[in-house]
Structure 1
Amino acid sequence: MKGSNTPHRADSELSPNAQPQPLFTSLSKTIDALKQATGHSNDVMVRQLLVGKSAKQSIALIYIDGLVNKEELTNTLLERLTGQFTDEIELNMENTTDYLKQYCLTIGDIQEIKDFAALYRSLFNGSTIILLDGVAVALAASMKDAKDRPVMEPAAESVIRGPREAFTETLRTNTALIRRKIKNPNLWIQTKVIGSVTQTDVAIVYINGIVNDKVVKEVLARLDKIEIDGILEGGYIESLIQDAQFTLFPTMYNTERPDVIAAELLEGKVAILVDGTPFVLIVPALITSFLQSSEDYYSNVFVSSFIRILRIAAIGISLIAPSFYVAITTFHHEMLPTPMLISIASQREGVPFPAVIEALIMEIAFEILREAGLRMPRTIGPAVSIVGTLVIGQAAVEAGVVSAVTVIIVALTAICSFLFPSYGLSNSIRILRFPFILLAGGFGLFGVMIATLALVLHLCSLRSFGVPYLSPFAPLILEDQKDAVLLFPRKFLTKRPRLVSQSNPTRATKYERTFKR
């Protein structure tokens, strides 16, 4: 077979169960194997040197063009290697790598590499590989070129009051942002490499002593079971390790705000960071996580409690309002006051469709316009969605396709769906709205009641890493109600969520009013 006599095959390194192949003692054989494995790609740079006073020691520097800081490479590696390598070291090859690490290289992060798998991983992570002829051990010097996106304001989560910084696509930048919030040695970070082809770094972050150890072990166990060729975003991991695969509701919370992650870690939860995406996953995720915003804790407790009540009411309106309208106008006319019933009947007099078809047409049209506004360029997207909604709604009413009251109901539903702090929960409610409308059109309010009961039973059956999804409502935990719907003042929030942080349930809070009124 072609290529069977070559010294190294890259295919063997792609298998997660393959044994790592050690490096060759011969420098030329190692370089040939590397070039063959990378398909002689022209961005894999190989710089060979003859160093020492007698110029007999052959060294090769291997790096990826575009991933390495060339200025640091020239000033730190090339000058040091060509200027300080002595003839005495050439006589004892066993000490060569130790001499390089201790006396020649002034770089902070240097690791020894003994196999090709580790060599590829370091090389494509932005390190410069130092190979010596006659030595089967290489050195990886971290010289990554910092061209990542700067820390900016969150794009997907608006900030009214609070830190205006968001995660980036670089893993180490994201862990540093968390370190800035929690300056404690108990903040532990474990890193795994997932994806046989992409070799994506995934970090598991938690606070030792606060987190539930069972949750940490479960997270690590589920990540270890992942066998996939590539991880490009946190959604890959979310779909693989979440508890319920067939549910519309997100059982893992995601955010791009470091202050939210710090607050969740202090509650005893675990964060999962994926290199290449600014969105961080949090487990376990409860229904309250999707109904609360970080601004709730930065504002007055009465204002925050009122806003939380508005959010919960918006969920009910967004989910049930269209189906309730269809049920009332189709089956339960007696529930409306006579003047309102006459007004609705007069508006629907020329409409050719029943109420259920009318509501479905407007809901689908609005969802199309919403998605069009999201996918189009930002400069014209909002204008197209707003103008399209106004023009289509007005034209549909004047043409007699839908009634004006249907347009009002759909518009109110759409506005309420924008009150959700979590985009994932908003998507779930948007999709569930359609079966609610169909059941209302077939069975009236009995259909709405059946759909509501089925929804509640489904939510009660969900778990997020062993924690009930509806906690602290089901099971009912009275102590946790202080931060569920209503928000109590900070001095009363002395307990962490009982089912989340079982090892350290008490916050270290002590507050005394020492000032005069």
Structure 2
Amino acid sequence: MNSSWSRIFTKNKKTVEYVDLELDSISKELSTDVNINIKNIKQALGNSSDLTLREFKLGKPFSKKVATLYINGLADKQIMGSFIIERLMDDINIAENEKIPPSEQIGIYIKEHLLAITHVVEVKDWKKLFLLLLSGQTIILIDECNQAIACAAQGGELRSISEPLSEPSVRGPRDSFTESLITNTSLIRSRIKTPDLWLETREIGDITQTEIGIMYINGIVNNKLLQEVRERLDKIKVDDVFGSSTIEEWISDKMATPWPTMFVTERPDVVAGNLLEGRVVIFVNGTPNPLILPATWIQFFQTAEDYYLRWSIVGFLRLIRILSFMITLLGPSLFIAFLSFHQELIPTPLLINLAAQRQNVPFPVIIEALLMEFTFEVLREAGVRMPRPVGQAVSIVGALVLGDAAVSAGIVSSAMVIVVAATAIASFTIPHYAMTDATRLLRFSFMILAATYGLFGIGIGVIVLVAHTCSLRSFGIPYLAPFSPIIIADLKDTIIRLPLPFMTKRPRLINKGNANRVEGTADLGPTERKEKKANNKPKSDTNET
């Protein structure tokens, strides 16, 4: 917190003195004078206009001065009026055999007898009071009582649950996360109804005090992984945390890599599936994209729809995604290498056709390719940043007009336009945007290597990239698992997904707890499982007769 607003006041006789205090002094207790406490809060918040104050008298027999404070827009005014202010202003009937509590215990009496709110906490220090007030809770101050009461009456405008934009699917649920941490965790609770689904919360960011949620399934999660996540989060010492991307950069294993080492999604069903595999999910209040860790390379080519379609169709679709990834990464570089160094590998009729197209092109093939790729990236970025109706028109019309004009002017060849367009279309089949961005970035490096050394340069680049990818780890898990190291049991859900009855084990490297998905299959081999299935098969009515 900033010490500039850490201002505590002391009362000297009839005058109020304002004393600037350091950060450590903000934990001092509240005053028994409600007026001093109100002035403290107003001064600390710079007399902000969104701080709403309501002063009134507590109902008989107390008749003490009470003040409620909340931030306008963060609290629900209907709850405030019906369940807090109205209850406090009504007269209180105390039984004859019950004593009127002293002034210092009025807060406890109000908490236990008057407030019809689900969550009520006592506050005795300034630091906790400001944290709860700025989180949307309502603060109740009572005269002659040195403690406040915080009521959970949060409200305000929140975005409703809608369909996922970046991860659409034909089959499967259509809900997605929002910016509310409570809403996001409830979407997971509705899918995984077990008491072993645990949630830990903490605040990160000295000024923003952003609420972070760590969710996992106890008994399935790897305890060493969970402890590592806690330690890395505790080491984050920054002023502001505005989204999951901030957390991702602070706790990543390695920054000098183009590959994403944490999985980001906006679909609750994807998070639920990863929790059941033993992974840990980090929710950040204010962002609809939680972090799933650890992440593996093959995970970025899997979609939620893969588990709602037949396994044979899923295998075909995943092969298309992997092939499209290879085209996106190496397509332009291979075209450059063939035309610049290895013309003998091109069929003669095609080579003559390509040479005729390039006869009037004034640039080398690498400049031509870089020019077209850069133009397409500009169009892509313009389509994303502009309003949606205008952005789509700019992307489509701009590509058609510029491509046709460039070919007609002799700046680029028709074959280069086809290669760049095919590469762009292939990049759209990669399901997750983070992997698409990494592939786009690496494509330019391979184009330069191809223009310099031909296929030899591409081969060296592939070797270096594979070696680098093999060296990566995500919270101790090899990034290329289960391919490197090879784990036969975990290959059932990689490039090809086998039918669900065959996937009876959770990923071995990720899960260190309960590794069995199906009850009673821990020590059974394929033959025993087949016999058990045959024995459990219900008999027909004819056989019973």
CA distance in 2, matches of 1:91, 1:174: 42
Does residue 1:307 correspond to 2:314, yes or no? no
What SS does structure 2 have at the residue aligned with 1:306? helix
Which of these residues, 296, 316, 321, is aligned with residue 306 of structure 2?
296
Q: Secondary structure at the match of 1:181?
A: coil
CA distance in 2, matches of 1:90, 1:208: 47
Aligned with 2:40 (options 10, 33, 51): 33
Alignment of 1:443 with 2:443, yes or no, is: no
2:356 corresponds to 1:346: yes
Q: Report deviation, 1:93.
A: 2.1
CA displacement at 1:59 relative to structure 2: 1.2
Write the distance in 1 (CA, Å) between the matches of 2:59 and 2:93.
5
1:203-242 aligned at under 5 Å gives the runs: 203-242=213-252
Aligned ranges for residues 151-190 of structure 1 at < 5 Å?
151-190=161-200
Question: Residue 280 of structure 2 aligns with which residue?
Answer: 270
What is the CA-CA distance between 1:95 and the residue it aligns to?
A: 2.7
Q: What whole-Å deviation, never above 9, does each CA across 1:148-185 have from its counterpart, x for those lacking one? A: 11111011211211000000011100000000010000
Q: How much has 1:459 moved relative to structure 2?
A: 0.3
The residue aligned with 2:115 is 105
Asked if structure 2 preserves the Cα contact closer than 8 Å seen for 1:110 and 1:140, the reply is yes
Match of 1:317 in 2: 327
Q: CA deviation at 1:25?
A: 2.1
Q: 2:187·2:268 contact (CA, 8 Å) conserved in 1?
A: yes
Matched, 1:147 2:162: no
Once the two structures are TM-superposed, the CA of residue 6 in structure 1 deviates from its matched residue by 4.5
Deviation at 1:516, TM superposition (A): 8.8
Find out whether 1:121 has 2:131 as its counterpart.
Answer: yes
Contact 1:89 1:96 (C-alpha < 8 Å) held by counterparts: no
The one of 268, 277, 286 equivalent to 1:258 is 268
Conserved 8 A contact 1:109-1:142: yes
Deviations 1:364-422 (A, max 9, x none): 00000001001110111111101100111111111110110000000110011001111
Residue in 2 that maps onto 1:69:
76
Distance 2:407 2:450 in 1: 23
Is 1:131 aligned with 2:141? yes
Q: 1:283 aligns with which of 276, 288, 293?
A: 293
* Higher mean C-alpha displacement, 160-169 vs 51-60: 51-60
Counterparts of 1:380-391 in structure 2 under 5 Å?
A: 380-391=390-401
Residue 259 of structure 2: which of 223, 227, 249 is its match? 249
Structure 2 gap ranges (5+): 11-17, 521-528, 541-545
Which one is further off, 445-454 or 24-33? 24-33
Partner of 1:503: 513
1:9 and 1:37 in contact (8 A); partners too: no
Q: Distance in 2 between matches of 1:339 and 1:10?
A: 84
In the other structure, the counterpart of 1:469 is 479
Per the TM alignment, residue 5 of structure 1 is displaced from its structure 2 partner at its CA by: 8.3
Q: In the aligned structure 2, how far is the partner of 1:516 from the partner of 1:309?
A: 40
**One-letter code aligned to 1:304:** V
Out of 35, 47, 52, the position equivalent to 2:54 is 47
**Who is 2:467 aligned against?**
457
Say whether the 8 Å CA contact 2:8–2:21 is kept in structure 1: no
Matched, 1:198 2:201: no
Give the aligned partner of residue 524 of structure 2: none
CA change 1:89–1:362 in 2 (3 A) is farther
Gaps of 5+ in 1: none
Q: Cα–Cα, structure 1 residues 84 and 189, in superposed 2: closer, same or farther, change >3 Å? A: farther
Q: Give how far 1:111 is off.
A: 0.9
Give the aligned length: 513
Instruction: Report which stretch shifted further, 501-510 or 388-397.
Output: 501-510
Cα distance in 2 for residues equivalent to 1:250 and 1:139: 44
Work out the CA distance in 2 between the residues paired with 1:295 and 1:361. Answer: 37
CA–CA distance in 2 between the matches of 1:177 and 1:18? 40
Q: Does the aligned pair in 2 maintain the 1:52–1:86 contact within 8 Å?
A: no
CA apart distance, 1:82: 1.0
Separation of aligned partners in 1, 2:384 and 2:538: 51
Out of 328, 342, 357, the position equivalent to 2:338 is 328
Counterparts of 2:364 and 2:473 in 1: how far apart (Å)?
40
Distance 2:101 2:423 in 1: 80
Letter in 2 for 1:200: T
Is the 2:104–2:144 contact (alpha carbons within 8 Å) kept by the matching residues of 1? no
Cα distance change, pair 422–117 in 1 and its aligned pair in 2 (3 A): same
Change (3 A) 1:259 1:11: farther
Scaled by the length of structure 1, the TM-score of the pair is 0.95
Structure-2 separation of matches of 1:260 and 1:10: 50
Structure 1 residues 478 and 18 mapped into 2: Cα distance closer, same or farther (>3 Å)? farther
**How far is the alpha carbon of 1:94 from its aligned partner?**
3.5
Taking the aligned partners of 1:152 and 1:39, their CA distance within structure 2 comes to 37
TM-score by length of 2: 0.91
| Of 442-451 and 76-85, the range deviating more from structure 2 | 76-85
- Give 1:117 deviation, angstroms: 1.2
Give the letter for the 1:57 counterpart.
K
Q: Tell me the amino acid that sits aligned with residue 316 of structure 1.
A: M
SS at match of 2:90: helix
Measure, in 1, the Cα distance between the counterparts of 2:269 and 2:101. 56
1:415 maps to 425
1:220–1:42 CA distance, 2 compared to 1 (3 A): same
Distance 1:96 1:9 in 2: 29
1:397-436 paired onto structure 2 within 5 Å: 397-436=407-446
Amino acid of the residue matched to residue 42 of structure 2?
K
RMSD in angstroms over aligned alpha carbons?
2.0
Task: Report deviation, 1:33.
Answer: 1.0
Q: Distance in 2 between matches of 1:477 and 1:193?
A: 38
Letter in structure 1 aligned against 2:427: S
Moved more, 76-85 or 220-229: 76-85
Shift of 1:338: 0.6
Post-superposition Cα deviations, 1:190-243, rounded to whole Å, max 9, x if no partner, equal 001011111110100000000101111111111111111111111010011111
